[in-house]
C-alpha cells in the first residue's frame, strides 16, 4: 500500500466538481498529503486509510474513544468502498458537508446513519451510531453517563423521526422531520466557515 | 494539543454535521471568522539564510516560539521577515520538525549546541524522533558523564578550594577519599597500603615450615609456631592501624549509616574482627578449631587493596553485572554433572571397592572429567562405566569449552541490549506520559475555556475578553466542536475530580434529593427523573444562583445553603461551566419570565411545561422542542438565555431564590 502513489485529479477538475476554490483545495491537499505527522507508523501518502482516520479523530477527542465513530465516518467518506479514502472522495464529502445545500447535508447524514446502506435506518443501526457518539464523550462526564442513555436517545430520535411508526426511518421521513425542526435547520449552517 | 493535526480540523468539524440531526438541544454557534484566513508564506531570516514556509506549517505547534505570537518579537517590519541571529544549520532541523513532525538530531553537531537551539525555539528534547532518539540520548549521557568526570577531577585537583570554614570532619573525609589533596593524606594512604601488604605477607609466611634452629630431628613446624611472638606483634600492629583507620573513617563519613553499609567498610570490619575475637577466646582445644577458621578471614585484608586500585573495583563491578550469565552457566553445568554422576554411579554400582560410593561422590569424578582435568583418583572399572566416562569427558569439552566464548560475547551483547531495553521502556513511558499530558492538556484547555466563560462574541464586553486567555483560532474551533458534542449528547466533559464527586453524589443520593427539592418545588413538577437533562435543570438552578450572586450580592444566605449542598470546590467550576454568554443576544424583558419560570413558581404557565418537558422522557419530544422554540421567540438556547438574563438583570435574585 505504501508504494501505491495515488495522484489526484487535476486541480481544475476538482474545482469544477466541488464547491471549493483553488486556494482552499490547495490548503486541503497539503494537509491531506501529510496526514499523521505525529505517529510512528508509516502513512501511505495520497490516500488515507481507516487507521489514520481513527488516529486523527482520537487526537480531537482525547477524553473518549472515537474509533467506532471514526469507523462509521470512514465508511461514509469511502463512497466506492475500496478501503481507502482518496483525495477525490475526501473533497466530495467535504464539499457536501461544508458547501452543500441543506438537502445534500441531510442526505449525507442519512447515509452516515444507514450503516448497511439499504435505505432504512433501523433502531439497531441508530443505536450503534449513538453508542459511538457517546463513546467519544469518555468516562468523565457530567451528569454521569448511564448505560441506557444512548438507548433513550435513540427512542427520542425515533419518536421524532419515524412518522408512520414502522420501526425504521426512511430518507423521506428523515428529511421531512429534520426540515420541520428549526434547531436542526439552523445548526446546519454552523460549520460553513471552516476553511 | 498535538497541533500537527490542525490541518485536519476542517474535516473533524465537517464530520460533526453527522451529529446535527441527533442533537436534542440546539448547538452553539460557531466562533467568529477571522478576517484573513488565507495562507501566507512567511520568510524567516536566520543569520542571512532565508527560509520560507507557510504560516500554517508554523502554526502546527502553537506552544513553541515560531508557532506562537512570540515570534512577533523578532519581526523586522522594514524587510517584512522574521530575523533570528542564530545558527542557520541548526535551524534547518528545527524547521523540518514543523514540516514533518519529527525532530532529527544532526550527527555532526555538538549535542550541547543542539540543546541550546532547542531551548531557544521552545522545543523540548523529548520531541526528538524515534530514529534519532537513542543516539541523542547516548551522546547526551556521554557528554554529561564526561562533564561530571571533569568536574570531579577539578574538584579533586583543587585542594584549597574547600571552603575555609569546613569542619575537621569534612577535611578528614576529603583526605580519605582523595589522597592527592595533601601530603598528610598521601602519607597515610601509603602507610596503610604498606601495612596491608605486610599483614598479607605475614599471613602467608606464617604457614611456611621453618627449619628448627638446631639440628634436632627435623621437626618442621610453620614459622608462625616458631616465632609466635613476632607474628603476634606484627598482627597487633597491623590491626591497630586498621582499627584506627576504620574509626577515623567512621568519624569523618558524612553519612554514617551509608558508610556502615558500604562494601569497603564491611571488608574492613571482617579484616579486623578475627583478631579481636581471637583475643577474647580462651585457648582451649574445643574452640581453637573454630578460632583457626576465623583466621581465614584475615585473608580478606587483601581486598582492602581495592581502595588503592581502580582496576580491582572495575573487576568487581563487572562480575556483579554479569552475574546472571554466570548463573546460567553454572546451572547448565550442574544439570550435566548430575546427569553424568547418576549414570556413572549406577554403571559402577556392581564393582567391588569402587570409589563411586554414592552419587555425590561421583560428582567429583564428573567435574574433574568434564573440565578435562582428569586427576585419576577416581576411575571407572566396568566397561559401561568406561563408555559413559568417555562420553562424559567428550561432552565436557562441549559443555564447558564451547559456551564460554559464546557467553563472553553474549555477555557484552546482552549487557548492551538490556541497557537498550531499559532505555526503550523508559522512552515508552516518557512517550506515553507525553501523550497523556497532551490529551489532558487538551481537556484541561477545554475545561478552562468553559470555566472562564467561553467567550466568542466580540460584541459583548471587552472587559470579559481580558480575563480569558488568548486562544488561537484553532483552539476556538476545537472547543466549539467539543461543545457541539456535549450538546448532542446532553452530557458535559468534566475532569476526574468532578466525575468522582458526581459518582459519589449519585451513590449518596441524599444531596441530590435536597437539591431536587429546591428546584422541584420551584418547577412544581415531581417528574425530574432520570432523563438526560433533569440534573442540568437542578445544576442550572444552583449555578444560576451562584452566578447571580457574583453579579449582585443579594441573598447570601440562600446561596450559602445552596452552596452547602455541594461542599467542594467543584461548584465553582460547575457554576461557570454553563455560564457561556456566547450569544450576543439582545434580550427583551420577556426573558425575565423565563428565568422566573425555571427557578421560582412559574407565573406564565406556558413556560412550566417547557422546563418539565425534557424531564419526561420522550414525551412528545418533537412537539416540546417546537413549543419551546416558539415560546422563546428568539433564536437562542434556553439555558444561555437564563444566564444572560441573570447577568443582565441583577434585580432578579430575590425572586429567583424564593421557593
Q: pLDDT tens digit string along B495-544? A: 777 777 777 766 655 444 444 444 444 333 333 333 444 444 444 444 44
Of A99, A122, A142, the position where a domain reaches its end is: A99
- Whole-number pLDDT of residue B365: 93
Q: What percentage of residues in chain B have a pLDDT greater than 90? A: 11
Cis peptide before B100 (omega within 30 of 0): no
Phi, psi of B306 (to 5 degrees): -65, -20
Beta strand residue intervals within A8-165, DSSP E: 47-49, 84-86, 120-122, 141-142
pLDDT band at residue B338 using 50, 70 and 90 as cut-offs: very high
- Whole-number pLDDT of residue B584: 37
Do the domain assignments include residue A161?
Answer: yes
pLDDT mean over B68-94: 87
pLDDT mean over B137-160: 67
* One domain, residues A29 and A91: yes
Give me the residues of A, 145-174, that contact B with CB < 8 A: 145-146, 149, 152-153, 155-157, 159-161, 174
Residue B80, Ramachandran bin (φ over 0: left; ψ between -120 and 50: alpha; else beta): left
* One domain, residues A95 and A163: no
Taking the C-alpha atoms of residue A185 and residue B20, their distance in angstroms, rounded to an integer, is: 9
Q: Which three cell numbers stand for residue B223?
A: 614459622
- Whole-number pLDDT of residue B617: 38
- Whole-number pLDDT of residue B389: 93
- Whole-number pLDDT of residue A163: 82
* One domain, residues A20 and A95: yes
pLDDT mean over B245-253: 89
Do the domain assignments include residue A24?
Answer: yes
- A145–B491 CB contact, under 8 Å: yes
* One domain, residues A84 and A131: no
Do the domain assignments include residue A137?
Answer: yes
Nearest of B24, B20, B488, B12 to residue A188 by alpha carbon: B20
Q: What percentage of residues in chain B have a pLDDT greater than 70? A: 61
Q: Which of A179-183, B101-105, B324-328, B531-535 shows the lowest mean pLDDT across its residues?
A: B531-535
Tens of pLDDT, residues A29-88: 777 776 555 554 445 566 778 888 888 888 888 888 888 988 998 888 888 888 888 888
pLDDT mean over B546-564: 41
- Whole-number pLDDT of residue B168: 83
Domain around A92 = 10-99
pLDDT mean over B163-184: 78
- Whole-number pLDDT of residue B243: 92
- Whole-number pLDDT of residue A158: 86
Q: What is the ipTM score, two decimals?
A: 0.82
When scoring B15, B24, B67 by the number of chain A Cβ atoms within 10 A, the one with the most, hence best to mutate, is B15
pLDDT band at residue B214 using 50, 70 and 90 as cut-offs: low
The residues with which A47 forms a beta bridge, in sequence order, are: A86
- Whole-number pLDDT of residue B465: 44
Q: Which of B272-286, B340-354, B388-402 shows the lowest mean pLDDT across its residues?
A: B272-286
- Select, from the ranges B307-311, B393-397, B601-605, the one with the highest average predicted confidence (pLDDT): B393-397
Do the domain assignments include residue A106?
Answer: yes
Taking the C-alpha atoms of residue A153 and residue A135, their distance in angstroms, rounded to an integer, is: 14
Chain A environment of B2 (Cβ under 8 Å): 38, 59
pLDDT band at residue B586 using 50, 70 and 90 as cut-offs: very low
Other CB atoms closer than 10 Å to residue A91's CB: what's the count? Answer: 23
Is A71 an interface residue toward B (CB < 8 Å)? no
For B26, the closest of A136, A138, A186 (CB atoms) is A186
Within B397-472, where are the H helices? 403-451, 462-466
The SS3 of residue B522 is helix
- Select, from the ranges B188-192, B349-353, B455-459, B502-506, the one with the highest average predicted confidence (pLDDT): B188-192
- B629–A180 CB contact, under 8 Å: no
Give me the residues of B, 340-399, that contact A with CB < 8 A: none
* One domain, residues A51 and A82: yes
* One domain, residues A129 and A178: yes
CATH number of domain containing A188: 1.10.238.10
Of A99, A128, A147, the position where a domain reaches its end is: A99
Do the domain assignments include residue A81?
Answer: yes
- Whole-number pLDDT of residue B341: 94
Chain A environment of B35 (Cβ under 8 Å): none
* One domain, residues A162 and A185: yes
pLDDT band at residue B433 using 50, 70 and 90 as cut-offs: confident
- Give the nearest chain B residue to A40 (CA atoms): B130
Domain count, chain A: 2
- Whole-number pLDDT of residue B558: 40
- Whole-number pLDDT of residue B32: 66
Chain A environment of B633 (Cβ under 8 Å): none
Tens of pLDDT, residues B8-66: 777 788 888 888 778 777 777 777 655 445 678 899 999 999 999 988 888 888 888 88
β-pair type (B221-222, B209-210)? antiparallel
Taking the C-alpha atoms of residue B320 and residue B570, their distance in angstroms, rounded to an integer, is: 54
For A183, the closest of B26, B33, B438 (CB atoms) is B26
- Average pLDDT over chain B reads 70
- Whole-number pLDDT of residue B45: 92
- Whole-number pLDDT of residue B556: 42
Rg of chain A over Cα atoms, rounded to whole angstroms, equals 18
Is A76 an interface residue toward B (CB < 8 Å)? yes
Residue A109, Ramachandran bin (φ over 0: left; ψ between -120 and 50: alpha; else beta): alpha
Give the DSSP letter of residue A122: E
* One domain, residues A84 and A164: no
Give the DSSP letter of residue B306: G
* One domain, residues A110 and A189: yes
What is the full DSSP assignment across B545-597? Answer: HHHHHHHS---HHHHHHHHHHS-SSHHHHHHHHT----S-----THHHHHHHH
Do the domain assignments include residue A79?
Answer: yes
Q: What percentage of residues in chain A have a pLDDT greater than 70? A: 87
Do the domain assignments include residue A1?
Answer: no
Of A39, A65, A99, the position where a domain reaches its end is: A99
* Size of chain A in residues: 195
* One domain, residues A181 and A127: yes
- Whole-number pLDDT of residue B420: 66
Is B619 an interface residue toward A (CB < 8 Å)? no
- Average pLDDT over chain A reads 81
* One domain, residues A108 and A90: no
CB B129 within 8 A of CB B102: yes
Is A191 an interface residue toward B (CB < 8 Å)? yes
Do the domain assignments include residue A2?
Answer: no
Residue B132 above 60 pLDDT?
yes
Cα→Cα distances A163→A121, A159, A178, B618, B622, Å: 13, 8, 12, 15, 11
* One domain, residues A109 and A178: yes
Q: Which residues contact B52 (CB under 8 A, 6 or more apart)?
A: B41, B42, B43, B44
pLDDT band at residue B391 using 50, 70 and 90 as cut-offs: very high
Nearest of B198, B158, B195 to residue B180 by alpha carbon: B158
Higher pLDDT, B314 or B75: B75
Chain A environment of B442 (Cβ under 8 Å): 62
Q: Which three cell numbers stand for residue B607?
A: 413556560
CB B611 within 8 A of CB B598: yes
- B5–A145 CB contact, under 8 Å: no
Q: What percentage of residues in chain A have a pLDDT greater than 90? A: 0
Amino acid at each position: 500500500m505504501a508504494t501505491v502513489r495515488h495522484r489526484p485529479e487535476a486541480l481544475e477538475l476538482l474545482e469544477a466538481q466541488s464547491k471549493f476554490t483553488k486556494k482552499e483545495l490547495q490548503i486541503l491537499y497539503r494537509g491531506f498529503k501529510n496526514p499523521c505527522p505525529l505517529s510512528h507508523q508509516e502513512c501511505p501518502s495520497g490516500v488515507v486509510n481507516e487507521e489514520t482516520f481513527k488516529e486523527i479523530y482520537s487526537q480531537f477527542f482525547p477524553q473518549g474513544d472515537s474509533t467506532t465513530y471514526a469507523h462509521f465516518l470512514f465508511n461514509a467518506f469511502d463512497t466506492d468502498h475500496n478501503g481507502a479514502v482518496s483525495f477525490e472522495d475526501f473533497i466530495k464529502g467535504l464539499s457536501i458537508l461544508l458547501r452543500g445545500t441543506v438537502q445534500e447535508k441531510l442526505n449525507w447524514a442519512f447515509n452516515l446513519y444507514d450503516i448497511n446502506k439499504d435505505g432504512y435506518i433501523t433502531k439497531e443501526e441508530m443505536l450503534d451510531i449513538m453508542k459511538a457518539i457517546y463513546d467519544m464523550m469518555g468516562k468523565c462526564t457530567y451528569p454521569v453517563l448511564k448505560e441506557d442513555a444512548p438507548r433513550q436517545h435513540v427512542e427520542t430520535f425515533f419518536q421524532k423521526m419515524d412518522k408512520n411508526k414502522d420501526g425504521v426511518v426512511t430518507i423521506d421521513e428523515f428529511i421531512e422531520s429534520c426540515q420541520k425542526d428549526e434547531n436542526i435547520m439552523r445548526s446546519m449552517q454552523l460549520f460553513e466557515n471552516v476553511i | 494539543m498535538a497541533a500537527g493535526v490542525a490541518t485536519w480540523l476542517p474535516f473533524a468539524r465537517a464530520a460533526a454535521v453527522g451529529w446535527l440531526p441527533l442533537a436534542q438541544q440546539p448547538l452553539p454557534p460557531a466562533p467568529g471568522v477571522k478576517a484573513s484566513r488565507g495562507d501566507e508564506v512567511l520568510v524567516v531570516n536566520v543569520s542571512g539564510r532565508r527560509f520560507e514556509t507557510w504560516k500554517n506549517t508554523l502554526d502546527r505547534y502553537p506552544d513553541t516560539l515560531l508557532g506562537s505570537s512570540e515570534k512577533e518579537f523578532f519581526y523586522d517590519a522594514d524587510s517584512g521577515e522574521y530575523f533570528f541571529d542564530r545558527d542557520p544549520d541548526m535551524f534547518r532541523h528545527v524547521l523540518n520538525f514543523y514540516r514533518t513532525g519529527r525532530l532529527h538530531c544532526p550527527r555532526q553537531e555538538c549535542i550541547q549546541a543542539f540543546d541550546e537551539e532547542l531551548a531557544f525555539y521552545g522545543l523540548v528534547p523529548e520531541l526528538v524522533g524515534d530514529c534519532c532518539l537513542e543516539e541523542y540520548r547516548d551522546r547526551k549521557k556521554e557528554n554529561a558523564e564526561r562533564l561530571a568526570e571533569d568536574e570531579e577531577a577539578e574538584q579533586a585537583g583543587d585542594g584549597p578550594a574547600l571552603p575555609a570554614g569546613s569542619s575537621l570532619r569534612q577535611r578528614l573525609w576529603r583526605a580519605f577519599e582523595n589522597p592527592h589533596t595533601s601530603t598528610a593524606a598521601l602519607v597515610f594512604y601509603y602507610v596503610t597500603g604498606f601495612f596491608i601488604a605486610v599483614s598479607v605477607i605475614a599471613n602467608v609466611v606464617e604457614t611456611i615450615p621453618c627449619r628448627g634452629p638446631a639440628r634436632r630431628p627435623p621437626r618442621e613446624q610453620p614459622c608462625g609456631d616458631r616465632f609466635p611472638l613476632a607474628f603476634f606483634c606484627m598482627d597487633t600492629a597491623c590491626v591497630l592501624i586498621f582499627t584506627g583507620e576504620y574509626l577515623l573513617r567512621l568519624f569523618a563519613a558524612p553519612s554514617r549509616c551509608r558508610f556502615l553499609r558500604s562494601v569497603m567498610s564491611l571488608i574492613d570490619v571482617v579484616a579486623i574482627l578475627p583478631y579481636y575475637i581471637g583475643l577474647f577466646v580462651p585457648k582451649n582445644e574445643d574452640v581453637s578449631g573454630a578460632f583457626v577458621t576465623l583466621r581465614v578471614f584475615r585473608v580478606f585484608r587483601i581486598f582492602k587493596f581495592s581502595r588503592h586500585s581502580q582496576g580491582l573495583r572495575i573487576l568487581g563491578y563487572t562480575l556483579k553485572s554479569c552475574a546472571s550469565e554466570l548463573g546460567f552457566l553454572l546451572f547448565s553445568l550442574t544439570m550435566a554433572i548430575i546427569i553424568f554422576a547418576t549414570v556413572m554411579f549406577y554403571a559402577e554400582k556392581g564393582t567391588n571397592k569402587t570409589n563411586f560410593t554414592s552419587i555425590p561422590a561421583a560428582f567429583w569424578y564428573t567435574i574433574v572429567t568434564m573440565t578435562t582435568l582428569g586427576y585419576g583418583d577416581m576411575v571407572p572399572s566396568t566397561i559401561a562405566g568406561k563408555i559413559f566416562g568417555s562420553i562424559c569427558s567428550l561432552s565436557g569439552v562441549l559443555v564447558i569449552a564451547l559456551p564460554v566464548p559464546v557467553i563472553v560475547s553474549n555477555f557484552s551483547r546482552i549487557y548492551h541490549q538490556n541497557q537498550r531495553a531499559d532505555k526503550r521502556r523508559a522512552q515508552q513511558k516518557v512517550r506515553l506520559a507525553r501523550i497523556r499530558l497532551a490529551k489532558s492538556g487538551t481537556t484541561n484547555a477545554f475545561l478552562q475555556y468553559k470555566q472562564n466563560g467561553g467567550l466568542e462574541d466580540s460584541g459583548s464586553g471587552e472587559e470579559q475578553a481580558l480575563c480569558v486567555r488568548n486562544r488561537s483560532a484553532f483552539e476556538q474551533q476545537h472547543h466549539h466542536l467539543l461543545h457541539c458534542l456535549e450538546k448532542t449528547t446532553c452530557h458535559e466533559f468534566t475532569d476526574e475530580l468532578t466525575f468522582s464527586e458526581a459518582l459519589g453524589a449519585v451513590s449518596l443520593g441524599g444531596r441530590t434529593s435536597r437539591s431536587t427539592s429546591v428546584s422541584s418545588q420551584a418547577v412544581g413538577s415531581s417528574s425530574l427523573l432520570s432523563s438526560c437533562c433533569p440534573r442540568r435543570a437542578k445544576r442550572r438552578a444552583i449555578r444560576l444562583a451562584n452566578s447571580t450572586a457574583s453579579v449582585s450580592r443579594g441573598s447570601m444566605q440562600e446561596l450559602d445553603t445552596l452552596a452547602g449542598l455541594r461542599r467542594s470546590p467543584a461548584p465553582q467550576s460547575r457554576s461557570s461551566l454553563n455560564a457561556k454568554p456566547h450569544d450576543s443576544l439582545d434580550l427583551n424583558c420577556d426573558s425575565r419570565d423565563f428565568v422566573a419560570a425555571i427557578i421560582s413558581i412559574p407565573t406564565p404557565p406556558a413556560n412550566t411545561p417547557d422546563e418539565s418537558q425534557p424531564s419526561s422522557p420522550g414525551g412528545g419530544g418533537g412537539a416540546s422542542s417546537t413549543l419551546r422554540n416558539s415560546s422563546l421567540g428568539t433564536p437562542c438556547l434556553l439555558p444561555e438565555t437564563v444566564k444572560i438574563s441573570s447577568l443582565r438583570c441583577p434585580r432578579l435574585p430575590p425572586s429567583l431564590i424564593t421557593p
